[in-house]
Structure 1
Amino acid sequence: MLKHCFFILCLCASFLLQAQSFSEDNTETVKDSLKKKAFIEHLGNGYFPTKYFNFDLRYLIKYNQYEALRTGLGGITNDALSKTFRINGYLVYGFGDDKFKYSVGGAYRLAEKSNTWLSASYTDDLQETGSTKFLTDKRFFQFFEPRLLNISLFHAHVTKTLSLGHQITPKLLTESEFSISHIDPTYSYIYAVGDESYSEFDISSAKFAIQWNPFSTYEVSKNEQKEVKEGFPKFTLQYTKSFKDVFKSDFNFSKFDFRTIYQFGDEKGSYSQIVLVAGIANGNVPLTHLYHAYPNNINKETILQRFSVAGINSFETMFFNEFFSDKFTTFQFKHYLKPFDISPSYKPQMVLITRYALGNIDQPERHENISFGSLDKGYTESGFELNKLLFGFGLSFTYRYGAYHLPDIADNIAFKFTFNLTL
């Protein structure tokens, strides 16, 4: 009897030890899985994480028509160093213009619950002329940026910025900013206002932006609000005001920008997306702060010479620097067909696309040494994409028609690669 009891006790002890060992192994497996998931999320956001500092992959290598090859390093401190402050910056070099560009900044968290951050930065870099960015936009990372390859019109700027980010609710985010910039176009340009002519200028401006996602679902993760389910429509508003004679600013102007995104259907099947963007600028607005419609067509003769990579929301048949506006709106409609279920790992997808742009400009004669048109007749293009054919690459075909249809049929056609890769 004692022998049987001893045997049962040994068997139970062995089982408990195996169970503990399995539990420890399972815990380690879960930890490793979570670490791997976090690492992939960082890479998807464009960061290579280290213990205290996350390297920013956006600055490693780029190419454009002005700088040619552009390369450097950048990054930001992470929560392991501090959850109340962060330091960020980058240093890059352009081989085409033989110049270094850099930025350095820092931020301090004023309130954790509302995710309120006070930030300051100093930047000496280039910016695409006519581009507009919403302050509230999430960090957006691509392994390479298709439009950037072909951009030639940049202005150099030295900008000092003070900004405040505040989350009123998980669905309502605000950003405000005051900046002082010295701007020097890299191209031959003069802005004439009355008896004054400016080849370079100073602008002191304030911006306020609000992002409202009323139908999205959020949850708290590690003391941070995260969007776990996208809801549509989404709305973004931004107001910019430039003040003349404030810190030697040269111009008075204001800008009001709006964007809404609406998506309906089943992302696992077929669905549609509508993006509406509008902007209006009043006052003395130099070319650097006007609007373009995000063109993405190279100024070359043949279709094959213009063959490049299509952007996400750019006008593929519109030539760079062809149009500038102080009032504009763009409408983009995409319909994603259900992916072709060829195999579990190979599912190409066709997307049908239509884009429309309408704009105007007052007093174009003020902008000297540069020629461009107006979008007052309405610009239209349509086409399709066949995505994820091989290693994330696909093909797109777009045709320009309507009021801005060109005499040579080939000049209305854009045939390009697409690139879609998710981690």
Structure 2
Amino acid sequence: MSMKIKLLLLVFSIFITKMMFAQSIISGRVINKDDGEAMPFVNIIYNQKKEGLTTNIDGRFLINNVEKVEFLQFSYVGFKSVFVPKDSIHIIHKGIVQMTEQNYKIDEVIVLPGENPAHRIINKVVSNRKLNNPDKLSSYSYTAYHKMVFTIDVKDTQKNAGDTSDIGELEKDSTSIKMKEFLDKQHLFLMESVSKKKFRFPGQHGEEIIASRVSGFKEPSMVLLANQLQSFSFYENMITLAESRYINPISPGSTKKYFFNIVDTTYTTRGDTVYSISFEPKKKKNFEALKGVLNINTYKYAVQSVVAEPVESNGLIGIAIKQQYKLIDDAYWFPVELNTKLIFYSMVAEAGKSKFNPVGIGKTYLKDIKINDEIKRKDIGKIDFEVNKIAHKQPDSLWNAYRYDSLSPQDLMTYEVIDSIGKKHKLDLKLKTYKTLFKGYIPVSFLNIDVSRLLDFNVYEGFRPGIGLHTNDKLVKNISFGGYFAYGFQDDRIKYGVNLDFILSAKQDMKLGLIYKNDLEESSGYQFLENPGMNSTESYRYWFIKDMTYLEGSAMNFQFRPLRKLKSLISVSQFAKFNTSGFYFNDGNENDLPGQEYQFLETTLQLAYTPNETLFFIDNELINSYGSTPAIYANISKGFKNELGDFDYWKVGAKLLLSTLTKNFGKTDLVITAGKVFGELPYYELYNGHASYYDFTIETANSFATMRMNEFLSDEFVTVYLRQDFGSLLFKTKKFKPEILLITSLAFGRLEKPDLQQGIDFKTLEKGFYESGVLFNNLIRSANIIGLGFGVYYRYGPYAFANTKENFAYKLSMTFDL
């Protein structure tokens, strides 16, 4: 070979090498060979010094320092490693690296005597949680782009649902082929949003959706689905996934519950070590656990990325998450990408002989991250989560500025097809109808029918059929006029009422209401400004009430929020009340006879302070999350004696709710209620014991299961309800997961002048009332939503009955998981 040819080949090889490493960059994407899905956080080592990096949340990688590259080695837990020599890097097809799954079991890991080396790393991560937790920063702000698609993933459906069908056979099914061709062209559903968030320590945050797009809909409430699926960071003791809570593998004491294994080690260009550590629950450990892989960076011993999913599915939805963190300002680790994958086991799509579950794939990308900037309280406002009025009308220029990547042909086709379907079938109108139904109303033109008024029941009235109608915003926005009519079969009386409501400011929760009614209420009962939510069992107690007082009159109330998490209601009322129990008020007045009617003129202030609730403002409606604690409720009432009122008095009441969730004992609920009357009032304006006893009834939370209805009467009292819900921590099998609760309740009270209350039987609570019980919830589960169980309570102490059998109460428990 001549020297010229050798020289030409040398120049050509140098040229090829330069072209291969143009701009000193090697880039590509790692995918799962079996399903083509992107693989995030794959470890990539590129020289003998074990220097390397990991793929991002979309499986992409970028290497800038090409001169350091000697080879590419890709590794990930549960997959066969891939080794690419330097001279073969350029032949990676379209920059794609494919990895193949292999079995990986804890049984295959050899555990040597002594401390697990992974524990030293995990313990350092636990020690640095406050240092690395974004919610411990003084402030932060960012802009986020959210995208969620719904489709059908055959492989994941089979793997998670236990389907043993042969994939090859499915591919031969003509209907399955058509479905695959359809899904190759478009998704089932697609939604996007752009939000701006501000945070100020401790716990004050506000997020505004500035742009939203939902295939088939203009109504913005759907964007909540993509934004509320997982904890924002991986540093709290309990991690929330799709509203279920799991013990964090990097929480204190986690090394006693989780098995950790160092599966890989790489080094960054700045000299930090990155440990890949797999985690899963230890054998014979019973708790709500996760499994996955943590990538821990030794700079501040922080989470660099995490992949996690529950060990056990709840049977309704399967969920898996991915989070990636980056150093901001070379000092603070902060989430930059969050992925969520949902598998809807409760929904089935059929294609020929095959059945598949829909899946949802959500991705969130954060940018414009600013840490420890000055953010004042007033900069955030009173709303936690708000959708801008013009969010669904934003131009393409805004979307192009925030989208992480341009829309794919599948995305574009999805919008085109589903938007046309939405317009043709008026999906926005149907969604609004469904929302109205969910609130308990049936919309008929400009009227809403109140479902709760159609049929009701309590012991005093028996069955109570009726109807309630209210105008909706189709007639007049922000004004509603309505009324109701009902009849009690047991007491043989008609009840009715009318009301007029004005929404003065939806965002400020400001309303004015006018009411007139001829109805009844529980004698000696009390209510606070609270809504326990759909999952609460407290409302069952209403069915057992057997002593009620009739009333007729009117009231005016004004509701508003003076502070961010403080709700208030001011009311003025005038009612005439009477009772048919044979009671008479013995205050020396000769006109006081059984069934005597008395006038009550009263003004009341009700307060509800819920510092941890989340407020959503969407489509001109303020929505609050239920069940947050702590919660404090207070009532202050003043009665006036004049031509409109027969009594001069004060009534004050308070209620405190506390709830904690611990890793070893489950959920602890404490409810303390107290009240006091200053002045002389008929018994039905005092306080009963808040009982719920019948021979065999449904269990009712925060009431006395063994106390007879209206057995006790007080003008001042305090009650304590303590419930320890162990969940399935004490006992669980694969198919049987009962939840065990221990309950203890006590009450103290007094009645200053019992001789005033004549014609009725009652006891007083000076000696203290005590009861304890045990509940076995979810012995039977229906559709993974309704749980049936059994419980028994026992009454003891000064007010225990001489006959031991009478101290027991047996309860059927009925719970809902919505």
What is the TM-score of this pair, normalised by structure 2? Answer: 0.46
Distance of 1:97 and 1:120 partners within structure 2? 27
More deviation in 326-335 or 36-45? Answer: 36-45
Query: Which residue number in structure 2 is paired with residue 302 of structure 1?
Result: none
Distance of 1:32 and 1:395 partners within structure 2? 46
Whichever residue aligns with residue 721 of structure 2, its letter is Q
Instruction: Please state how far the C-alpha of 1:349 moved relative to its aligned partner.
Output: 1.9
Distance of 1:267 and 1:219 partners within structure 2? 30
- Distance change (3 Å), C-alpha of 1:64 and 1:19: closer
Query: Which residue number in structure 2 is paired with residue 227 of structure 1?
Result: 624
- Distance change (3 Å), C-alpha of 1:112 and 1:309: closer
Distance of 1:338 and 1:39 partners within structure 2? 36
1:217–1:230 CA contact under 8 A, matched in 2? no
Distance of 1:349 and 1:259 partners within structure 2? 27
Instruction: Please state how far the C-alpha of 1:192 moved relative to its aligned partner.
Output: 1.6
Distance of 2:427 and 2:662 partners within structure 1? 29
Residue 724 of structure 2: which of 335, 341, 355 is its match? Answer: 335
Q: Encode CA deviations 1:232-291: one digit per residue, 9 max, x unaligned.
A: 2111111011101142x1111110010111111169982111111100001111111110
2:723–2:742 CA contact under 8 A, matched in 1? yes
Whichever residue aligns with residue 385 of structure 1, its letter is L
Query: Which residue number in structure 2 is paired with residue 303 of structure 1?
Result: none
The residue correspondences of 1:189-228 to structure 2 (distance < 5 A) are 189-196=583-590, 197-198=592-593, 199-228=596-625
In structure 1, stretches of 5+ residues that fail to align are 1-13, 299-305
Distance of 1:151 and 1:72 partners within structure 2? 19
- Distance change (3 Å), C-alpha of 1:175 and 1:267: farther
2:727–2:741 CA contact under 8 A, matched in 1? no
Do residues 117 (structure 1) and 511 (structure 2) align? yes
Q: Secondary structure at the match of 1:411?
A: helix
More deviation in 137-146 or 103-112? Answer: 137-146
Q: Secondary structure at the match of 2:586?
A: strand
Residue 164 of structure 1: which of 550, 555, 558 is its match? Answer: 558
Instruction: Please state how far the C-alpha of 1:38 moved relative to its aligned partner.
Output: 6.4
- Distance change (3 Å), C-alpha of 1:34 and 1:374: farther
The residue correspondences of 1:239-278 to structure 2 (distance < 5 A) are 239-247=636-644, 249-265=645-661, 270-278=666-674
Do residues 394 (structure 1) and 805 (structure 2) align? no
Do residues 152 (structure 1) and 546 (structure 2) align? yes
- Distance change (3 Å), C-alpha of 1:220 and 1:313: same
2:538–2:702 CA contact under 8 A, matched in 1? no
1:177–1:207 CA contact under 8 A, matched in 2? yes
Query: Which residue number in structure 1 is paired with residue 698 of structure 2?
Result: 309
If asked which structure has higher relative contact order (CA below 8 Å, sep 6+), I would say 1
1:170–1:218 CA contact under 8 A, matched in 2? no
- Distance change (3 Å), C-alpha of 1:239 and 1:53: same
Whichever residue aligns with residue 318 of structure 1, its letter is M
Query: Which residue number in structure 1 is paired with residue 758 of structure 2?
Result: 368
Instruction: Please state how far the C-alpha of 1:321 moved relative to its aligned partner.
Output: 1.5
* Bigger radius of gyration: 2
Distance of 2:609 and 2:755 partners within structure 1? 38
- Distance change (3 Å), C-alpha of 1:188 and 1:414: same
Q: Secondary structure at the match of 2:542?
A: helix
Residue 408 of structure 1: which of 798, 803, 808 is its match? Answer: 803
Structure 1 or 2: more strand by fraction:
1
Distance of 2:437 and 2:723 partners within structure 1? 27
- Distance change (3 Å), C-alpha of 1:307 and 1:127: same
Query: Which residue number in structure 2 is paired with residue 55 of structure 1?
Result: 449
Do residues 22 (structure 1) and 419 (structure 2) align? no
Query: Which residue number in structure 2 is paired with residue 10 of structure 1?
Result: none
Query: Which residue number in structure 1 is paired with residue 685 of structure 2?
Result: 289
Query: Which residue number in structure 2 is paired with residue 138 of structure 1?
Result: 531
Query: Which residue number in structure 1 is paired with residue 814 of structure 2?
Result: 419
1:273–1:334 CA contact under 8 A, matched in 2? yes
Instruction: Please state how far the C-alpha of 1:90 moved relative to its aligned partner.
Output: 1.5
Query: Which residue number in structure 1 is paired with residue 466 of structure 2?
Result: 72
- Distance change (3 Å), C-alpha of 1:269 and 1:54: farther
- Distance change (3 Å), C-alpha of 1:200 and 1:310: same
Distance of 2:608 and 2:411 partners within structure 1? 51
Distance of 2:484 and 2:662 partners within structure 1? 40
Distance of 2:773 and 2:516 partners within structure 1? 42
Percent of aligned pairs sharing the same letter = 27
Q: Secondary structure at the match of 1:250?
A: strand
Q: How many residues align?
A: 400
- Distance change (3 Å), C-alpha of 1:370 and 1:67: same
Instruction: Please state how far the C-alpha of 1:119 moved relative to its aligned partner.
Output: 0.7
CA RMSD of aligned residues (A): 3.1
In structure 2, stretches of 5+ residues that fail to align are 1-184, 187-407
What is the TM-score of this pair, normalised by structure 1? Answer: 0.85
More deviation in 18-27 or 94-103? Answer: 18-27
The residue correspondences of 1:320-359 to structure 2 (distance < 5 A) are 320-339=709-728, 342=733, 347-359=737-749
Q: Encode CA deviations 1:166-200: one digit per residue, 9 max, x unaligned.
A: 12233011101111111110211101213342522
More deviation in 141-150 or 100-109? Answer: 141-150
Whichever residue aligns with residue 655 of structure 2, its letter is R
Distance of 2:431 and 2:666 partners within structure 1? 28
2:601–2:639 CA contact under 8 A, matched in 1? yes
More deviation in 309-318 or 35-44? Answer: 35-44
Distance of 2:710 and 2:468 partners within structure 1? 30
Instruction: Please state how far the C-alpha of 1:87 moved relative to its aligned partner.
Output: 1.8
- Distance change (3 Å), C-alpha of 1:156 and 1:146: same
Q: Encode CA deviations 1:327-355: one digit per residue, 9 max, x unaligned.
A: 001111111112366568x7532221111
Q: Secondary structure at the match of 1:193?
A: coil
Q: Secondary structure at the match of 1:365?
A: helix
Do residues 127 (structure 1) and 521 (structure 2) align? yes
1:271–1:336 CA contact under 8 A, matched in 2? yes
- Distance change (3 Å), C-alpha of 1:19 and 1:172: closer
- Distance change (3 Å), C-alpha of 1:76 and 1:274: farther
- Distance change (3 Å), C-alpha of 1:255 and 1:35: same
Query: Which residue number in structure 2 is paired with residue 9 of structure 1?
Result: none
- Distance change (3 Å), C-alpha of 1:294 and 1:25: farther
1:191–1:286 CA contact under 8 A, matched in 2? yes
Whichever residue aligns with residue 760 of structure 2, its letter is I
Whichever residue aligns with residue 602 of structure 2, its letter is S
2:740–2:774 CA contact under 8 A, matched in 1? yes
Whichever residue aligns with residue 312 of structure 1, its letter is A
Whichever residue aligns with residue 383 of structure 1, its letter is G
Distance of 1:279 and 1:396 partners within structure 2? 29
